[in-house]
């Protein structure tokens, strides 16, 4: 019986280790063939995501957060156990422990590839939706900035605020986010998870994260209120297989503005406005300086509160975290790195030009 068990363990280890080359083959195939990546999404990912996302969605807390917090302690405990046992049994125990860790790492790599990595090579939402992102003029960029600022200002006057004049959210934001993204994408999503250690995420300069091992959309809810709805929609877009940041931002924008919810619409317009303002600042600083006159007092108070909030977290830790995020994005074929968060401006301008601006 013991020999059979040992043989079975060796067999399991072998197949687990084979997940490393399998992950490499799948990634290479997706990278070299968009059709393969789309086929994988259509035939496999969307069903896996629907099943497991809705299972973990039954939990009132983020399972991903629990795993992130407990795995380091479990790993440390395993190392201590191995070292203690190795003093009695010798190097054979260390070898087995090393193989076990390699098998675990192999399984983690494969799950990342299957649950997240291959979706980076899918077609962009612009191509899927037939949005032609042609080069735009400085005038078009400026007019888009004005439009977004006016819409944000108009909606802002209808929202609640605290005693400091800063926008506050009503209840059930998580449920609303799931509803609006599901309606836009035609799927059924569970609500995003509010992270218990949200303020800790701010120290790492993280507003939200898709945890592919549990198919959960995790959101930092300590951030300024007006940014939370669009952040939730952004992470749910990732759950839906939209991995590129500019695409997830754009889908969050659409989810927000196409809802009939004023808080979400405001969050969507201000998110797009901030990216458009930043683009205008880099291209035409003179015109950028004139935009403050378009913003209502409420919008300006919200933006000031956001600036003050993030100023608290300008630490070396945040800088290191930003660099890690930049490297992660570039390693997954997002050559612009963290700057890819702003490429949604092209999509926004093209969308508004076709759907709104030319009809106004």
Strands 216-219 and 193-194: parallel
Q: Is the pLDDT of residue 220 over 70?
A: yes
For residue 271, which of 315, 220, 226 has the smallest C-alpha distance? 226
How many Å apart are CA 319 and CA 325, to the nearest integer?
Answer: 10
- Asked if 226 contacts 171 with a C-beta cutoff of 8 angstroms, the reply is no
Q: Is the pLDDT of residue 333 over 90?
A: no
Structure-token match 């004023």, residue found: 262
Q: Which string of DSSP letters, residue by residue, matches 64-90? A: HHHHHHHHHHHHHHHHHHHHHHHHHH-
Rounded mean pLDDT, 338-344: 53
pLDDT of residue 356: 63
Tens digit of each residue's pLDDT (9 = 90 or more) over 59-101: 999 999 999 999 999 999 999 988 888 887 777 888 888 999 9
pLDDT of residue 191: 97
Q: Which string of DSSP letters, residue by residue, matches 124-187? A: PHHHHHT-------HHHHHHHHHHHHHHHHHHHTTS-B-TTS-B---S-HHHHHHHHHHHHHTS
Q: How many CA atoms, within 13 angstroms, populate the side-chain half-sphere of residue 256? A: 33
Rounded mean pLDDT, 245-266: 96
Q: Where are the domains of the chain?
A: 2-121, 126-359
Q: What six digits make up the tokens of 17? A: 């280790």
Q: What six digits make up the tokens of 24? A: 């490499």
pLDDT of residue 319: 52
Q: Is the pLDDT of residue 339 over 70?
A: no
- The pTM score is 0.90
For residue 343, which of 267, 249, 210 has the smallest C-alpha distance? 249
pLDDT of residue 96: 87
Measure Cα distances from 256 to 152, 177, 181, 276, 296 in Å. 12, 8, 8, 17, 20
- Asked if 95 contacts 10 with a C-beta cutoff of 8 angstroms, the reply is no
Q: Which string of DSSP letters, residue by residue, matches 273-290? A: HHHHHHHHHHH-HHHHHH
Portion of the chain with pLDDT greater than 70, in percent? 88
């Amino acid at each position: 019986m013991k020999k059979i068990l040992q043989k079975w363990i060796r067999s399991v280890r072998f197949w687990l280790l084979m997940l490393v080359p399998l992950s490499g083959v799948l990634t290479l195939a997706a990278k070299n063939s968009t059709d393969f990546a789309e086929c994988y999404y259509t035939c496999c990912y969307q069903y896996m995501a629907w099943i497991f996302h809705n299972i973990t969605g039954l939990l009132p807390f983020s399972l991903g957060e629990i795993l992130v917090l407990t795995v380091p302690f479990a790993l440390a405990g395993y190392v201590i156990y191995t070292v203690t046992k190795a003093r009695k049994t010798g190097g054979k125990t260390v070898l087995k422990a090393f193989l076990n860790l390699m098998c675990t790492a192999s399984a983690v790599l494969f799950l990342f590839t299957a649950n997240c990595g291959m979706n980076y090579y899918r077609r962009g939402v612009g191509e899927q939706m037939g949005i032609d992102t042609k080069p735009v003029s400085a005038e078009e960029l400026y007019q888009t900035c004005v439009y977004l600022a006016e819409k944000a200002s108009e909606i802002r006057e209808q929202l609640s605020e605290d005693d400091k004049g800063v926008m506050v959210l009503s209840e059930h934001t998580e449920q609303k986010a799931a509803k609006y993204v599901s309606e836009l994408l035609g799927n059924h999503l569970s609500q995003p998870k509010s992270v218990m250690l949200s303020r800790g995420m701010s120290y790492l300069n993280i507003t939200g994260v898709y945890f592919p091992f549990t198919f959960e959309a995790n959101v930092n809810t300590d951030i300024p209120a007006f940014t939370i709805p669009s952040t939730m929609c952004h992470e749910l877009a990732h759950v839906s297989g939209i991995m590129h940041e500019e695409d997830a931002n754009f889908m969050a924008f659409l989810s927000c503005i196409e809802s009939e919810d004023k808080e979400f619409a405001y969050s969507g317009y201000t998110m797009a406005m901030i990216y458009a303002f930043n683009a205008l600042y880099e291209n035409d600083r003179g015109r950028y300086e004139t935009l403050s006159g378009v913003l209502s007092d409420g919008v300006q108070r919200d933006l000031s509160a956001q600036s003050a909030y993030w100023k608290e977290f300008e630490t070396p830790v945040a800088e290191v975290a930003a660099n890690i995020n930049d490297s992660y994005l570039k390693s997954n074929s997002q050559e612009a790195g963290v700057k890819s968060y702003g490429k949604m401006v092209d999509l926004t301008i093209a969308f508004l030009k076709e759907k709104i601006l030319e009809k106004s």
